[in-house]
Structure 1
Amino acid sequence: MDVDSFARLALLALVIALLPLSWVWLRQRGRDARARLAALTAITLFLTFDLIVFGSFTRLSDSGLGCPDWPGCYGEASPLGARADIHAAQAALPDGPVTWSKAWIEMIHRYLAMTVGVLILVMAAASWKERARLPHSPWWATATLAWVLVQGAFGAFTVTLKLYPAIVTLHLLGGLALLALLAVQHTAYRNAPLPAAPPLRRLALGAGGLLVVQIALGGWVSTNYAVLACSGFPLCNGQAWPAMHWSEGFTLLRELGRAGHGGYLSFEALVAIHMAHRLFAVVVAVALGLLAWRLWRAPALRRFGAGLALLLLAQLASGLSNVVLGWPLAAALGHSAGAAALVLLLTLLLARTAPARQPAVAARPSAATAAA
């Protein structure tokens, strides 16, 4: 890692983070620590969602290697200082991974990521300072800070390992985990619990687990560029069950485009990756549809049910558009944003319907103690 460029990027992220921090301070003047931290968590949550969506745009626009080093761009804090290197790379490969626009897309993604990191650092420090007046332990904010550092490492490995598919997929899942951590903390600050029967919560937990698996499969499709391995719907390349190479497609420890044995990834492997995501989507759609119906029947949770149904329909539409329309950028980006929105909605649902902790019941005194 280039320490000098990292220091300059960190200073730039601090300057950018002063904007949302100043907004929170001005809007929450005179309010208690809980209200200020709730506002800070809300804006950090919003920016994290934007970061996930922009990260998808970075991947979908093939800008992941727009700056082939980390954390800077050819050792500089912005593409402006790396003009000569970017021009030379683009002149050698005009359609290659390094172009002027791709470099800016990649660096804007890094600026946003480091800004979110600064906000989470401030949130953790403030949580420890005000821990006596907060509804939950400051270890939640500390865990979020630790996780954002892990995400930064995954971001670095994404570049240095040249878009290694397993690392890119884990980076996506890590971003969604960060989103969930912030959502839980924001819910605790709001302190607006909702009633939910235990069977409904179990259904939500099961549907959420299936959704995570489906998102991992979708990330595997995207990072291996297998979206167009199947043309047409519901058939795949005119067949209900096309030729597929499952073991090759789901060999995790391999480079982009390479098979586990060292050769190139076969087309049958790409079809297997695509079909796994398509088939499991049926299972997830049924689970989420059932959950949306059950939520709609509960008056206190009807808004969650309506939101879940709308997001599910949007996901199905954007997923079909990717296949039928040949993977347009808008549909692909909407599909990624929809997955993040589903994770956010289910996390908020589970956090707001979590059973309240009951105070510990004192032990009944023994007969000897009572007599005394």
Structure 2
Amino acid sequence: MNKGYKLLVLTSCMLALVVVSLGAYTRLSNAGLGCPDWPGCYGFLTVPNESHELSVVEENFPNAQVEPKKAWIEMIHRYFASLLGLLIVVLCIIAFKYRFSNGPHVSPRLKHSIGLLVLVLFQGMLGMWTVTMNLQPFIVMGHLLGGFTILALLVLLLLRTHHSGITQARPNQHRSFLLAIFALCVLIIQIALGGWVAANYAAPHCSGLPICSNIELFSIKSLLHLPVGQSNYEFGVLPFETRLSIHFLHRIWAVVTAVTLFWVSWRIFYKEQNVEIQSAVKLVCTFLVAQLVLGGLIVHLQFPLLLTLFHNIMAALLLLAMVRLCFLLTSKQGVAI
């Protein structure tokens, strides 16, 4: 069971990264409403293209126009997300079967798997609300954060599976661990702000480097203007100055995040004389530099879709690198220098 289980967890991690990437591509290509219903597409399991199918669409969705490209982008995302949900169900069943494999107490693996199952069910509900509420930004951002959380928890499960025999230290007394957790929280806020930028279609409203071209429009007060009370939120409903302020806040916190992660990485690198931990620190810094470069290029090149997609993927990889570093700092492992 052990080898097969590890392979299943690894496959789930890779699939989760694909789902997060497809979700980002769906948002960036404006395909979120490619299928106006859920879980099918205009009442079908695939995108309708036959004449009799289009007749049904015209009857049931009289004001809709089928856009095959956008619809397929959305449906492919749903197919992969459904497969991921199925794999998480299988992980939960296996964990339940071997729940007492390490003694009389319930295995932490089972608790972890049940948490993942609950989260993926809620993520499915968010996916439905994203469509039925016509891309309401709070729901869209929640859906994005849910996908990142599922990916992070699957990677954490993979780490626990591969390091199941390691003696655990007491993280609440470990200064390096607390520093890493602090940096992780700062990074999560930055990811949430990035999700808020995407959900409100605010990226193009802050052009120019290092500050926005129309920075005089920035105001804290405008950030309190929330996207509510609309029937459709596609392409954004907030005024220009609010979207500019949202984007610029994301840039400000990016500086805070970069400074925090570099400082914490430097402290941990020289405090923890451990090869694996130092390697994890280097990986965090590498992903952070790549993310900063991508962010600058995206603005300079006027927000090309492919680079923006890589920016989303790099955010996920940076999050996973930080999760791995936090995990390693709770374990007495690695080869001492």
| Same topology, TM > 0.5 | yes
2:239 to 253, 262, 266: 266
Question: How far is 1:187 from its partner?
Answer: 1.3
> Which residue of the partner structure matches residue 43 of structure 2?
75
Segments of 5+ residues of structure 2 without an aligned counterpart are 333-337
TM-score (norm: length of structure 2): 0.85
- 1:148 has 2:120 as partner: yes
Task: State the partner residue of 2:313.
Answer: 337
Counterparts of 2:231 and 2:278, CA distance in 1: 45
Secondary structure (helix, strand or coil) at the match of 2:100 reads helix
In the other structure, the counterpart of 2:69 is 101
**Cα distance change, pair 43–339 in 1 and its aligned pair in 2 (3 A):** same
AA aligned opposite 2:122? V
Identity %: 36
Q: In the alignment, does 2:275 pair up with 1:321?
A: no
Partner of 1:275 in structure 2? 248
Question: Does residue 84 in structure 1 map to residue 60 in structure 2?
Answer: no
Aligned to 1:129: 97
Q: Counterpart of 1:243?
A: 217
Residue 265 of structure 1, CA deviation: 2.3
Using the TM superposition, give the Cα deviation of residue 252 of structure 1 relative to its aligned residue in structure 2, in angstroms: 4.2
Give the structure 1 partner of residue 258 of structure 2: 285
Residue from 49, 53, 76 that aligns with 2:17: 49
Structure 1 counterpart of 2:248, which letter?
M
* 2:78 is aligned with 1:110: yes
The 1:44/1:84 distance shift into structure 2, 3 A limit, reads same
Map Cα deviations across residues 114-149 of structure 1 (whole Å, 9 max, x no partner): 000000001101100011225624121011001000
After TM superposition, give the deviation of residue 88 of structure 1 in Å: 6.4
Inter-partner Cα distance in structure 2 for 1:266 and 1:97: 27
Judging changes above 3 Å, is the alpha-carbon distance between structure 1 residues 344 and 188 closer, same or farther for their aligned structure 2 residues?
Answer: same
Could you say which residue in structure 2 is the equivalent of 1:207? Answer: 183
59-68 or 302-311: which moved more? 302-311
User: Which amino acid in the other structure matches residue 31 of structure 2?
Assistant: S
| 8 Å contact kept, 1:304–1:345 | yes
Change over 3 Å in CA distance of 1:49–1:256 after alignment to 2: farther
Deviations 1:204-243 (A, max 9, x none): 1001001111111111111111111111101311x6x422
Partner of 1:19 in structure 2? none
1:188 aligns with 2:160: yes
Q: Which moved more, 1:246-255 or 1:293-302?
A: 246-255
Measure, in 1, the Cα distance between the counterparts of 2:37 and 2:183: 39
Q: Which residue of structure 2 aligns with residue 36 of structure 1?
A: 4
1:245 Cα deviation (Å)?
4.3
Runs of 4+ aligned structure 1 residues displaced above 3 Å come to: 80-83, 85-89, 192-197, 245-253, 255-259, 294-299
- The residue correspondences of 1:139-178 to structure 2 (distance < 5 A) are 139-178=111-150
Tell me the secondary structure at the aligned position of residue 77 of structure 1: coil
Check the 8 A contact 2:19/2:77 in 1, yes or no.
Answer: yes
1:257, distance to aligned residue in structure 2 (A)? 10
Deviation at 1:268, TM superposition (A): 0.9
Deviation at 1:291, TM superposition (A): 2.7
Q: What code does the residue aligned with 1:84 have?
A: L
Query: How far is 1:351 from its partner?
Result: 2.1
Following superposition, the deviation at residue 84 of structure 1 comes to 1.6
RMSD of aligned Cα (Å): 2.8
Unpaired runs of 5+ residues, structure 1, are: 1-32, 357-372
User: 1:98 Cα shift?
Assistant: 4.6
Q: TM-score, normalised by structure 1?
A: 0.78
CA deviation after TM superposition for structure 1 residue 52, in Å: 0.3
